[in-house]
Amino acid sequence: MRDFISMLDITKEELKDLLKLTETLKEKQKKGEIFEPLKGKTLALIFEKPSTRTRVSFEVGVIQLGGHGIYMDTRSSQLGRGEPIKDTARVLSRYVDGIVIRTFKQERIVELGRYSKVPVINALSNEEHPCQILADLFTIKEYCRDFKGLKVAFLGDGNNVCNSWLIGAAMTGINFYAATPQGYEPSEFYIKKAEEIAKTTSAEIVITNDPVEAVKEANIVYTDVWASMGQEEETEKRREIFMPYQVNSELLKHAKPDVLFMHCLPAHRGEEVTEDVIESCRSIVWDQAENRLHTQKALLTMLIR
């Protein structure tokens, strides 16, 4: 693995190693042990979209690993004035040891990776959110220990998180059911890739328009916002279309009695999830958010030499 632009960039064995390393690094932090494999290294953090968890977890992570992060947004760099991403890649490669980018189009990250001589990490694009899925898988591993046979139900928009989840589930043997309104299904490309991988792990990949079918006997129910950044004008329309996919206590009655609730955050309470669900004892969203730090530290440790 040279870059981490897509969940498809990591092998099953590398994913297993990364989750194991995450466990080690989290334990080290709890014990207050110093671990600085990035001492003397510098990371460029390009953020063309706003962020809380992604930015802070990467900035804190690189500091804890002994390195230094340089935050760049479009207003404080030549990217905001139209410099080609390939030019930025070639210049930054001569200054830094790795590049993290959070942007709109996946194509920009792919091009950045093509011209960069240092590792590139996708911190979110319109197509994928692979760093989120690393944290999600590690959180599930903490609670359930084993992936095999688990059923994860994803409700709502078949967006970037859902696309990356398809690959992550297929690689780990998790049965993944995505329930979306008609016309909002995940990318056909990621569905097909997930189905191919699932043949090697016996994972079930199911895309449905029925939220009850997806949630039935699920171990984990997962949702995301209905209108992502850049879709604000569609908020009212989407609220009406997606309301049947709201995660609430009534819908969760169809899941396992010990079902866990996950959300990549930020959450719009009263829309994709109700207040009582996200604040319940079944909600593990805060562990999930914390684990962004630990999985990204493991990723940086593996990628940056």
Residue 4 tokens, joined: 């981490």
Query: Do 182 and 257 belong together in one domain?
Result: yes
Separation between Cα atoms, residue 5 and residue 8, nearest integer Å: 8
Indicate the residue type of 146. Answer: D
Cβ 133 vs Cβ 168: under 8 Å = yes
Question: Looking at the domain assignment, is residue 1 inside a domain?
Answer: no
Question: Is the pLDDT assigned to residue 229 strictly greater than 70?
Answer: no
185 with 249, same domain: the answer is yes
* Residue 281 assigned as binding residue: no
**Domain of 111, in residue numbers:** 12-129+289-304
pLDDT in tens, 2-35: 999 999 999 999 999 999 999 999 999 999 999 9
Residue 28 is inside which H or E element, if any?
A: helix 12-31
Give the whole-angstrom CA distance, residue 229 versus residue 2: 29
Which one from 136, 264, 288, 296 is the annotated catalytic residue? Answer: 264
Establish whether the linkage from the previous residue to 130 is cis, with ω within 30° of 0: no
What pLDDT is stored for residue 285 in this prediction? 98
Same-domain pairing of 293 and 279: no
Specify whether 264 is catalytic: yes
Residues 108 and 210 reside in one and the same domain: no
Of 224, 238, 282, 296, which residue is the catalytic one? 224
Say what the pLDDT of residue 222 is.
99
Would the annotation count 224 as a binding residue?
Answer: yes
Same domain as 17, residue 87: yes
CA distances from residue 305 to 9, 93, 257, 299, 302 in whole angstroms, order as listed: 18, 14, 45, 11, 8
In a domain, 5, yes or no: no
In a domain, 211, yes or no: yes
Residue 269 phi, psi (nearest 5): -65, 135
Q: What is the pTM of this model?
A: 0.97
106 shares its domain with 146: no
pLDDT score for 235: 84
pLDDT of 76 > 80? The answer is no
Q: Of 82 and 86, which is predicted with more confidence?
A: 86
Same structural domain for residues 281 and 136? Answer: yes
Catalytic residue among 238, 282, 292, 294: 292
> What percentage of the chain reaches a pLDDT higher than 70?
99
Pick the range with the lowest mean pLDDT from 18-27, 81-90, 257-266.
81-90
Active site residue 132: yes
Are the CB atoms for 180 and 245 separated by under 8 Å? yes
201 marked ligand binding residue: no
pLDDT at 102: 97
Domain total of the chain: 2
Q: Is 130 one of the annotated binding-site residues?
A: yes
In 171-204, which positions are buried (b, 16+ CB within 10 angstroms) versus exposed (e)? Answer: bbbbbbbbbbbeebbbbeebbebbeebbeeeebe
- Residue 198 CA to residue 201 CA, distance in Å, equals 5
pLDDT of residue 31: 97
**Residue 105 is which amino acid?**
K
Among 71-75, 255-259, 298-302, whose mean pLDDT is lowest? 71-75
Q: Does 131 belong to an annotated binding site?
A: yes
Here the tokens at position 213 are 């079918």
The mean pLDDT of 63-71, rounded to a whole number, is: 98
Specify the CATH number for the domain of residue 45: 3.40.50.1370
Token pair listed for 172 = 């780990």
Span 160-214, pLDDT tens digits = 999 999 999 999 999 999 999 999 999 999 999 999 999 999 999 999 999 999 9
Mark whether 136 is an active-site residue: no
Question: Strands of 205-208's sheet, edge to edge?
Answer: 205-208, 175-179, 151-155, 220-223, 260-263
Q: Are residues 206 and 69 in the same domain?
A: no
Judge if 236 and 102 occupy the same domain.
no
Q: What's the rounded mean pLDDT across residues 41-46?
A: 97
Q: Which residues contact 151 (CB under 8 A, 6 or more apart)?
A: 174, 175, 176, 177, 204, 217, 218, 219, 220
Q: Are residues 104 and 136 in the same domain?
A: no
How sure is the predictor about 230, in pLDDT bands with cuts at 50, 70 and 90? low
Cα 197 to Cα 143: distance, rounded to the nearest angstrom: 24
Whole-number Å distance between alpha carbons of 17 and 3: 16
Average pLDDT, the chain: 96
What is the arithmetic mean of pLDDT over 53-78? Answer: 94
Alpha-carbon gap, residue 32 to 36, rounded angstroms: 12
Q: Do 242 and 300 belong to one domain?
A: no
Q: Residue 238 catalytic?
A: no
In a domain, 59, yes or no: yes
